[in-house]
Amino acid sequence: MKSRFIKTIFLSALSTIVAFTAVTYTSCTPDKCKSVVCAYGGVCNEGSCICQSGYEGAQCEFITRDKFLGVYQVVETGTITDISHYTVSINADPNNVTNVTITNFYNSITTSVTGYVKGDSLYIPQKTYNNNTLTVQGYGYIQQEGTTYAQHAQLTLYYSVVNAKGVVNDFGTAAGSPSIWNK
C-alpha cells in the first residue's frame, strides 16, 4: 500500500514537472513573426512574408508591375516587316495591381494593349485590336540595367501579330527575332 502511495506521488510530481516544462519551453520559444510587418496584405510565416499576387520584396513592399512602367525605345524586325524604331509606354492599370496597358504597341495599334505582370515576366493574352483587324499575343522578360528598374531596364518581348487575312508577323515566338525594348 505504501509503495502504491509513493508511486502515485512520484507520477503526480513527474506529470507536474513535465507540464510545467512544456508550458515554460513553448512560452520561451521566440515568435519569428513578432517584429515582421508585411505590407499590402502579406502574411508572415516563420519570419518571412508571403506576398499577395502583385507584390514582392522582403516585406511585400513593392508593387511588382512598377518595374515595367515607363517609356521604352523599341527596336524590332518581324518576319514580314523590316527593322523598326519607335516608342511605347507601359502604364499601370488602375483597376488591377497586376495589369498594365501598353500604348503605341506595334507602332500601329490605335488602342492600348493590355497585359499582366508576374515576377519579372510580362504576358499579353491573345486579343484582337484595331476594329478586329490585328490579333496580338505574347510574353516577355525584364532585366534591370544599372541600379533600378525605374531608370534603366531592358524588356525582351516575344510576340506575334496576325492581320485579318491571317498573315503572321512574328517577333521570336515561332520565327524571327524578339523585340527589344529599352528604357
> At 140, which CATH number?
2.40.128
pLDDT above 70 covers a percentage of the chain that reads: 81
Q: Residue 13 is inside which H or E element, if any? A: helix 2-28
Q: What's the pTM?
A: 0.80
Residue 21 main-chain phi, psi, to 5 deg: -65, -45
For residue 109, pLDDT over 60 is answered with: yes
Q: Are residues 156 and 71 in the same domain?
A: yes
Domain count, the chain: 3
Q: Are residues 88 and 132 in the same domain?
A: yes
Q: Are residues 11 and 93 in the same domain?
A: no
Q: Are residues 125 and 56 in the same domain?
A: no
pLDDT above 90 covers a percentage of the chain that reads: 78
Q: Are residues 141 and 103 in the same domain?
A: yes
Q: Are residues 76 and 137 in the same domain?
A: yes
- How far apart (Å, rounded) are the C-alpha atoms in residues 27 and 8? 29
User: How big is the chain, counted in residues?
Assistant: 183
> How far from 82 is each of 4, 72, 140, 167, 170, CA to CA, in Å?
98, 19, 21, 15, 12
**Residue 146 burial by Cβ neighbours in a 10 Å radius (0-12, 13-18, 19+):** exposed
Q: Are residues 21 and 77 in the same domain?
A: no
Q: Are residues 13 and 97 in the same domain?
A: no
Give the domain range for residue 38.
32-60
Give pLDDT, residue 166: 97
Q: Are residues 25 and 37 in the same domain?
A: no
Which residues, 6+ apart, have CB-to-CB distance to 88 below 8 Å? 71, 72, 74, 102, 103, 104, 105, 181
Q: Are residues 92 and 38 in the same domain?
A: no
Q: Are residues 44 and 133 in the same domain?
A: no
Q: Are residues 10 and 25 in the same domain?
A: yes
Question: Tens of pLDDT along 12-28?
Answer: 554 555 555 555 444 55
Taking 3-state DSSP, the helix, strand and coil percentages for the chain, each rounded to the nearest 5, stand at 20, 40, 40
